[in-house]
A and B are shown apart, each in its own frame.
Chain A
């Protein structure tokens, strides 16, 4: 694995010095910079802010939003809210997982797709919903799910 350039982490951490309750927004900012929270950044935060690494990992593992490993180019999120679930969202998730050959939360070997389930996106009227990156695909079916994958596969390898 290539080493991560930590300059930005240091810069970000400076802005959170001497404030209380900063750990979550700080980690969110680091994640939005790097796409995940690199292990090395935990040590930097720990040293700079005097917080034990165990406390930082406590946060990182408690909240579903944080990733400790890099993500694929496109994140596919399949909504598993109640409405999407009863409209067939589970079957779409299973099918995509099969097609990509990855489990939920996994990333394909080519680094193109990460697959996630999400509890509810609040678009229940459009269910079942599949989101790729920021793009919503409402009233999805398994067949459309396949088409969407193909589209992004082409786009991603261009």
Chain B
């Protein structure tokens, strides 16, 4: 093999047409009789959304990355690059691509987009299962000590020390014990766990086996949301390959330790990401949370001691075992160690997964890997961190370091690492309403504060966005939010008011504009919009005309646009398209 062709084929690669790209590569390589000297590697997604990403490695040219590749580009690439040994400049990944990866420290994602996740040999070649081979020479207690000393905290949201959790479980009474991997990833805006499972499933399996050995469990369960069919397929394949190789199953690698993993599929309930609800769901019941204690480490699956960790948490474990606790804790801040994978999305140039050391500032993340705002004219307004449990932070807080403590002080949270960047065209009141509508929908209904309190808050927000807000509503939201935080049964209710409380804290002006002036400054809340063109701002570009799906915008070249209200369906396509804020 002299030439390697990598094609990123996670969910996003495939949905952008990666399969067809591969098919054409095969066809072209065949046609030119070079298929025997080329190897196509189907990798997971590398983290950056660039439709289909293709890397070609040849002895002479080294590694060259192409982005936004379409099937029809492939013949040219094969002819010029592979046969002619000259890269095709116009498809080559540009500066943005380089910038996206420049400041990352990829530990958990090191294999994503670099190996074929369906081929265990490639994982092994990347030192996969080396950590597993190492543990049999040390005691379970030494493993737990090492994980504890590394400072690894759970990446699923709460940020509890992983080593301590393992220690509690190991010392708990009861047999058998279980390892559960939380792959429910329900936060809208988070997709790191999916990418890890799709791109490097063995790293999660290896972490789970090591955890099993450490606490004395023989059975592991991955609870994966049903919306991730590709992740489930690759995980299944990885499990059976690991069994064939003797990394899973009875007497692993000839030692007196057996461990097996099964997969349980979620059925579409956000609350099942909460650990006690998740366990109820695996047991075949409605996913309703339970009061803690007892914690799952004491009484978990089927009432037995259970360690439940997040996908990314498990994926870190092999690196700690291989390189040692000191190595791991040398990255990060005083209290938050290692790296964290963040999912960047929204109105930002480079959307995707970026793994950076803890302690990186939000600004570094947005303007480094993120590449800044997509539409510079419209400008930054807020960053939403931690999904429905998190908060919206303004420009003035962008320089705080991303670690568990600093974020908690702002009212946002690390959460699972979803970061949505919002510009001036995003309405903060509407965002608060959006998240609350989500949590109201997903509340399991077991406790009153969450079931009724959130609903009342949502009703008030709907009044405000509809232009019927009153000043006393703001105090109501504040008080109700604070008391739900105090009194709800589980993390869902405890954190659900955060999007409202943080927007009240940092963007109160916007609430007041809705209530007093009956205006939505961002141009989002339909009931407060007039759908009229402001001629002083209109530059006569016709963007609004082009995007209107019902032909309600009247415009001719060099003339102001006008909106025919009889035809208008208030879909806001024109407002979203206008870069000049000329439609109100």
Contact = CB atoms under 8 A, between A and B. Distances in A.
Contacts of A118: 227
B269 A122 contact: no
Interface stretch (A1-9, A68-76, A90-98, A150-158): A90-98
B553 to A, nearest CB: 13
Interface string B430-471: 010011001000101000000000000000000000000000
Interface in A109-158: 118-127, 135-136, 138, 141-143, 146
B11 to A, nearest CB: 6
Contact of B345 (A80, A82, A88): A82
A130 to B, nearest CB: 11
Contact of A125 (B12, B190, B267, B285): B12
B284 A86 contact: no
Interface stretch (B83-91, B532-540, B568-576): B568-576
11 contacts: A64-B267, A82-B420, A86-B346, A86-B347, A87-B347, A123-B191, A124-B420, A126-B15, A136-B11, A142-B549, A143-B549
Contacts of A94: 571
Contacts of B189: 81-83, 120, 124
A49 B198 CA distance: 35
- Which of A65, A82, A87, A95 is most buried by chain B, counting CB atoms within 10 A of its CB? A82
Contact of B49 (A64, A65, A81, A125): A125
B338 to A, nearest CB: 23
Interface string B282-297: 1111110000000000
A22 B284 contact: yes
Contacts of A124: 189, 191, 343, 345-346, 351, 418, 420
B268 A65 contact: yes
Given A65-B268, A82-B346, A87-B346, 12 more contacts: A20-B302, A59-B285, A63-B287, A65-B226, A80-B188, A82-B387, A88-B576, A95-B549, A95-B569, A120-B186, A120-B188, A125-B344
B352 interface: yes
B384 interface: yes
A125 B351 contact: yes
Given A82-B434, A95-B549, A146-B549, A122 B11 contact: yes
Contact of B227 (A23, A62, A121): A121
B16 interface: yes
A101 to B, nearest CB: 14
B227 A142 contact: no
B269 A98 contact: no
Interface of B: 11-12, 15-16, 48-49, 185-191, 194, 226-228, 264-270, 281-287, 302, 343-347, 351-352, 384, 387, 418, 420, 422, 426, 431, 434-435, 438, 442, 444, 547, 549, 569, 571-573, 576
B50 to A, nearest CB: 9
B57 to A, nearest CB: 25
A28 interface: yes
A11 to B, nearest CB: 20
Given A24-B284, A62-B269, A127-B345, A86 B49 contact: no
Interface in A15-39: 20-25, 27-28
Nearest to B12: A123
Nearest to A66: B267
A20 B282 CA distance: 10
B11 A28 contact: no
Given A124-B351, A146-B549, A63 B576 contact: no
A22 B285 CA distance: 9
B569 A98 contact: yes
Contacts of B187: 120
A119 B272 CA distance: 14
A42 B48 CA distance: 45
A119 B188 contact: yes
A118 B270 CA distance: 11
A50 interface: no
Contact of B15 (A22, A83, A123, A127): A123
